[in-house]
Amino acid sequence: MSLNVTFPQLLDLQDFALLGLRLMVAIVFGASGYFHLKDPIGRAKSIELSPALTAGLGAAEAVASLALVTGILIQPAALGLILVSLGAIQKKALTWKTGFWGEKAGGWHYDLMLMAMNLVILSTAGGSLVIRFRVP
């Protein structure tokens, strides 16, 4: 099987592109997790979950973001964030009846994009630019 690649030189940048993707996803979910943990009661009201569940969601997002940055347990982290995205899509599309684009770009297209980004991370293991530990 041969690859029909227009710019084969760019294949050398795959690991850097995957690192950039991981960092972008980590920033988005890390910020979300931070705000969930900073004010779980206020955030719980806005997303219609209990404060305890909101804090748990925030902790999961923060830990998964750290995993994406370091590359430690990156595939379970990406899978967890896919599930978070599916939950957000379910809430927006089925519970709140928000359209794909929503008002003021508040639709579930954003969550679908993040889910696809995490699917790339999951299926590639995030590339080779990760923190590695050597066991003596």
Query: Looking at residue 2, what is its pLDDT?
Result: 61
Q: How many domains does the chain have?
A: 1
Flag whether 133 is in a domain. Answer: no
Q: Which domain holds residue 100?
A: 14-124
Q: Is residue 135 in a domain? A: no
Predicted local confidence at residue 1, as pLDDT: 56
Instruction: Tell me, yes or no, whether 2 lies in a domain.
Output: no
Q: Is residue 136 part of a domain?
A: no
- What's the pTM value of the predicted model, to 2 decimals? 0.91
Q: Report the pLDDT value the prediction gives residue 18, as an integer from 0 to 100.
A: 97
Residue 58 has a pLDDT of 98
Question: Which of 37, 13, 124 has its CA nearest to residue 78?
Answer: 124
Alpha helix (H) residue ranges in the chain? 14-38, 40-47, 51-70, 74-90, 109-124
Question: In the chain, what is the straight-line distance between the N-terminal and C-terminal CA atoms, in Å?
Answer: 41
The letter for the amino acid at 39 is D
DSSP-based three-state secondary structure for 8: helix
**Predicted local distance difference test score (pLDDT) of residue 73:** 94
Question: 89: which residues sit within 8 A by CB, 6+ positions away?
Answer: 108, 111, 112, 115
Taking a C-beta distance cutoff of 8 angstroms, is the pair 80, 121 a contact?
no
> According to the model, what pLDDT value does residue 131 have?
84
Residues of the chain with pLDDT under 50: none
Residue 69 near residue 25, CB atoms below 8 Å? no
In a domain, 72, yes or no: yes
User: Tokens representing 49?
Assistant: 């979950």
pLDDT value of position 3: 65
Q: Is the residue at 130 inside a domain?
A: no
Flag whether 115 is in a domain: yes
Please count the other Cβ atoms lying within 10 Å of the Cβ belonging to residue 93: 17
7 part of a folded domain: no
**CB under 8 Å to 52, separation ≥6 — which residues?**
40
Dump pLDDT digits (tens) for 49-86.
Answer: 999 999 999 999 999 999 999 999 999 999 999 999 99
